[in-house]
DNA sequence: CTCTGAATTCTTGTATGCAAGAATTTTTCG
DNA sequence: CGAAAAATTCTTGCATACAAGAATTCAGAG
């Protein structure tokens, strides 16, 4: 009846997304549709458990069912949607247990990334990551949540890239989708920010020193701390459901 | 002109795949098409670099373009195909560098799985994994390559399942696709078998003892050994291209 | 003979039509 | 009035039609 999703002002949210001009080139619909839909899910605009009606999405997104169906398939594979045969796909539940499972995997993955990155860290690469760190701090001082998120993610992403391992980056991107979802879901937890910034600086130091073991350990613990805080926030939120 | 794929007896290979009866139930075409196509790629029946013509695949698989296109999208996301806009998708190259990248990631992932699994290992679970190990040995003594592959994979898979971490299993499945491809590509390397069996026994012992650190380390090294041998075999093969 | 370019053919990207299964509503019987 | 069943409506799964871009071929000029 009145699942959370039914009250979502979907049209308004979609209006914010820049619509591709009618004079667009061929082959861009799939990608853009995936991006739009993914954004709606990750940011929580489409609530967990919400049913996706293909025809309705077509109208909202202004495309035919083909790209919509492809996007649904793609996001199902990414684990953001759940699909049952002959039934509407639904937005995957944001299970706290699953996020706890994410902790072990993401921390291990980023730990490996740190280990490999430290061995390949040039001054230039470290400087670039440092810049991302300062950008994050800037957004922090300004209380700009989206910018903070973005810079934080870029910081971590750059380290994974620096590892030079394309498979690692691929896996990390997949995991990052779920982490982002959890982040958006648990409204900001500013307590954690200061600690995160300190940890980033220590990670940078380890990379600068080229100390693989230390970089690995610090990244592992940093990720573990962050995600654990996230789980705590989510459990808190679950305890007192709608104390806005 | 005559790329390796053009000479592939595709029709014959597909004939081996049991065709779903006309009286099948709806909703199974996508999955079965993905499975068939994936098998062709993983086993090497569709050679790396081969161009996939959608219409041709439709004829071969006996379905329309819709499920074929969905399957292509899915396998592209899995990294088995490469797609460029408005161009035919091609089977992803089996880059040795990428397999070397896999070594670090898969060994780390399975190491984590071993660590978590050891902490949860019941007698029953260990016995089940032991059974898979003996099944593998049986296929070994009979020189049955496919059975050996299957049992080996089941052994590893069961350990990841035992970890109780669904995210870990999800990632492992993705990685396993690429590992399987590499395995099929480098024809059997029997030298490795005996060593692998010994390592499996040691892994089992660590699981039985519930020693998380040991299980983790042994799995990590076992995977590293296996994949390193695989890379060596592939490099060997690359050096003397077609010495059948 | 070769190179350029235009026209044709082929292939993919997108939209839509049709049928099977699911959900819902209505109707009928107890 | 309640419940079960039948019919209607709705939704997805698959097939196909059409359009835009890419590849190929063929002709003509240098």
Per-residue pLDDT tens for A126-144?
Answer: 999 999 999 999 998 998 8
How far apart CA A15 and CA A10 sit, in angstroms, is 9
- Residue B178 sits at the chain A interface (C-beta within 8 Å): yes
- Residue B134 sits at the chain A interface (C-beta within 8 Å): no
pLDDT at residue number A127: 97
Q: DSSP letters along B48-84, please? A: TT-EE-HHHHHHHHTS-HHHHHHHHHHHHHTTSEE--
Q: For chain B, what is the mean pLDDT? A: 88
Interface contact flag, A102 B170, Cβ < 8 Å? no
Residues of chain A within CATH 1.10.10.10 domain(s) are 4-91
Interface contact flag, B102 A167, Cβ < 8 Å? yes
Distance from CA of B111 to the nearest CA of A (A): 10
For residue B77, pLDDT over 80 is answered with: yes
For residue B3, pLDDT over 90 is answered with: no
Interface contact flag, B70 A74, Cβ < 8 Å? no
Q: What share of chain A is helix, strand, coil (3-state, %, to 5)?
A: 70, 5, 25
Q: For chain A, what is the mean pLDDT? A: 88
pLDDT, tens digit, for every residue of A30-62? Answer: 999 999 999 999 999 999 999 999 999 999 999
pLDDT at residue number B156: 98
Determine the nucleotide nearest to B69 by Cα–C1' distance. C12
Is strand C less than 7 A from the beta carbon of B240? no
Residue A188: pLDDT band (50, 70, 90) is low
For residue A15, pLDDT over 50 is answered with: no
Encoded tokens for A143: 């209380």
Residue B76: pLDDT band (50, 70, 90) is very high
Is strand D less than 7 A from the beta carbon of A6? no
pLDDT, tens digit, for every residue of A88-129? Answer: 999 999 999 999 999 999 999 999 999 999 999 999 999 999
For residue B14, pLDDT over 60 is answered with: no
Q: How far is the CA of B83 from the C1' of C15 (A)?
A: 22
User: Does the global pTM surpass 0.75?
Assistant: yes
Find the angle CA(B241)-CA(B243)-CA(B244) to the nearest 5 degrees. 120
Is strand C less than 7 A from the beta carbon of A87? yes
- Residue B87 sits at the chain A interface (C-beta within 8 Å): no
Residue A27: pLDDT band (50, 70, 90) is confident
Encoded tokens for A119: 């061995």
Cβ(A134)–Cβ(A208) under 8 Å? Answer: no
Residues of chain A within CATH 1.20.120.530 domain(s) are 96-239
Instruction: Name the percent of chain B lying above pLDDT 90.
Output: 77
Q: How far is the CA of B25 from the C1' of D6 (A)?
A: 23
pLDDT at residue number A237: 81
Q: Parallel, antiparallel, or unpaired: how do β-strands A89-91 and A81-82 relate?
A: antiparallel
Across the range A199-215, mean pLDDT stands at: 97
- Look at B177 and B194; give whichever has higher pLDDT: B177
Q: What is the CATH number of domain A4-91?
A: 1.10.10.10
Encoded tokens for A225: 């701390």
CATH fold of B96-239 reads 1.20.120
Residue B197 CB partners (closer than 8 Å, separation 6+): B133, B136, B137, B140
How far apart CA A41 and CA A33 sit, in angstroms, is 12
């Amino acid at each position: 009846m009145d699942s959370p999703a039914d009250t979502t002002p979907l049209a308004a949210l979609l209006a914010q997304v820049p619509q591709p001009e009618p004079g667009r080139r061929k082959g861009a619909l799939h990608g853009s549709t995936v991006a739009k839909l993914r954004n709606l899910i990750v940011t929580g605009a489409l609530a967990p458990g919400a049913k996706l009606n293909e025809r309705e999405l077509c109208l909202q997104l202004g495309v035919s069912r083909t790209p919509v169906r492809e996007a649904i398939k793609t996001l199902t594979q990414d684990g953001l949607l759940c699909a049952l045969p002959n039934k509407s796909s639904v937005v995957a539940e944001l299970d706290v247990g699953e996020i706890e499972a994410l902790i072990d995997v993401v921390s291990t993955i980023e730990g490996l990334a740190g280990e490999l990155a430290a061995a390949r860290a040039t001054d230039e690469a470290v400087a670039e990551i440092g810049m991302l760190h300062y950008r994050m701090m800037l957004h922090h001082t300004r209380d700009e949540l989206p910018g903070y998120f973005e810079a934080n993610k870029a910081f971590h992403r750059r380290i994974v890239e620096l590892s030079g391992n394309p498979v690692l980056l691929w896996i990390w991107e997949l995991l990052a989708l779920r982490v982002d979802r959890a982040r958006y879901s648990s409204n900001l937890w500013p307590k954690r920010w200061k600690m995160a910034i300190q940890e980033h600086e220590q990670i940078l130091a380890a990379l600068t020193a080229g100390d693989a073991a230390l970089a690995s350990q610090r990244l592992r613990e940093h990720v573990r701390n962050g995600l654990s805080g996230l789980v705590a926030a989510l459990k808190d939120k679950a305890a007192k459901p709608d104390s806005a």
